[in-house]
């Protein structure tokens, strides 16, 4: 783990106070969890983003809260829909010896036989929920699709026994499937559905207005 991210306490929760923090480059946050009461804090956005690039989204972060170093994970965050800036962050203090539940991105590995034959790779779900010790959290959950042919699929039930992690999703949680190439008729139907009409919009005259 990298050097601990320093935080500062924040008591005021008014909108103007939160805006002032963000203008200074801080993210309004809260930390809670293992042996930690819920505490409102603020962390440097620059330091947090730098650390996340090092540890990954699910990595363990050292957080300095009033001189006490905590092992935490970024449990949740809110981001600006347009700019992508982190507006608020929730840090979960953890016990490094106990397993925790964490969602990990599914990474498809290899090129399937079905894709080589013109099939389309579809990924219905992009994450799996696993139970793992903090020090063993993977950056991604790899699923090998090399042997899949057209019509084949992989669900959690297909890989549960082979996985080195305990997967908490149901067996029918779909991870990938290889669909057959679309026929010319299907392509023509898609084209017709996406077409535009030449009809002009109705214009409301003065006599029609209320």
CATH code, 125:
2.170.120.20
Q: Higher confidence at residue 105 or residue 181?
A: 105
pLDDT in tens, 8-43: 988 767 888 888 899 999 999 999 999 999 999 999
Q: What's residue 91's pLDDT?
A: 96
Q: What's residue 74's pLDDT?
A: 94
pLDDT in tens, 127-182: 999 999 999 999 899 999 999 999 999 999 999 999 999 999 999 999 999 999 87
- 94, two tokens: 């953890």
- 196, two tokens: 């535009």
Contacts 24+ apart (CB under 8 A), 18-26: 22/85, 22/87
Q: Higher confidence at residue 12 or residue 46?
A: 46
pLDDT at 65 over 70: yes
pLDDT at 188 over 90: no
Q: Of 95, 123, 157, which closes a domain? A: 95
Residue 205 in any domain: the answer is no
Q: Do 82 and 139 reside in the same domain of the chain?
A: no
Q: Is 192 exposed, middle or buried (0-12, 13-18, 19+ CB in 10 A)?
A: exposed
Q: Across all residues in the chain, what is the average pLDDT?
A: 87
Q: What's residue 172's pLDDT?
A: 97
Structural domain count, the chain = 2
Q: Do 12 and 86 reside in the same domain of the chain?
A: yes
Q: What number of CA atoms fall less than 13 Å from residue 205's CA on the CB side?
A: 1
Distance between CA atoms of residues 49 and 99, nearest Å:
25
Q: Do 183 and 114 reside in the same domain of the chain?
A: yes
Q: Do 161 and 126 reside in the same domain of the chain?
A: yes
Which residues span the domain enclosing 126?
Answer: 101-192
Residue 31 in any domain: the answer is yes
Sheet holding 174-179: strands in order across? 120-122, 174-179, 153-155
Q: Do 86 and 111 reside in the same domain of the chain?
A: no
């Amino acid at each position: 783990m990298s050097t601990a991210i320093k935080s500062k306490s924040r008591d005021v929760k008014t909108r103007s106070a939160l805006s002032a923090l963000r203008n200074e480059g801080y993210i309004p946050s809260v930390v809670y969890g293992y042996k930690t009461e819920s505490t409102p804090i603020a962390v440097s956005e620059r330091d947090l983003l730098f650390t996340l690039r090092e540890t990954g989204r699910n990595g363990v972060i050292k957080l300095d809260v009033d001189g006490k170093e905590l092992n935490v994970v970024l449990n949740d965050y809110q981001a600006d829909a347009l700019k992508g800036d982190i507006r608020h962050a929730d840090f979960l203090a953890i016990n490094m010896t106990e397993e925790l539940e964490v969602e990990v991105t599914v990474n498809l590995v290899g090129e399937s036989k079905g894709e080589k034959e013109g099939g389309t790779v579809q990924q219905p779900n992009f994450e799996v929920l696993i139970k793992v010790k903090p020090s063993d959290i993977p950056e991604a959950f790899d699923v090998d699709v090399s042997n899949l042919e057209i019509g084949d699929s992989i669900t959690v039930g297909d890989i549960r026994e082979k996985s080195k992690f305990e997967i908490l999703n149901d067996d029918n949680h779909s991870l990938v499937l290889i669909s057959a190439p679309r026929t010319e008729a299907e392509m023509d139907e898609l084209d017709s559905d996406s077409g535009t009409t030449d009809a002009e919009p109705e214009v409301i005259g003065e006599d029609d207005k209320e």
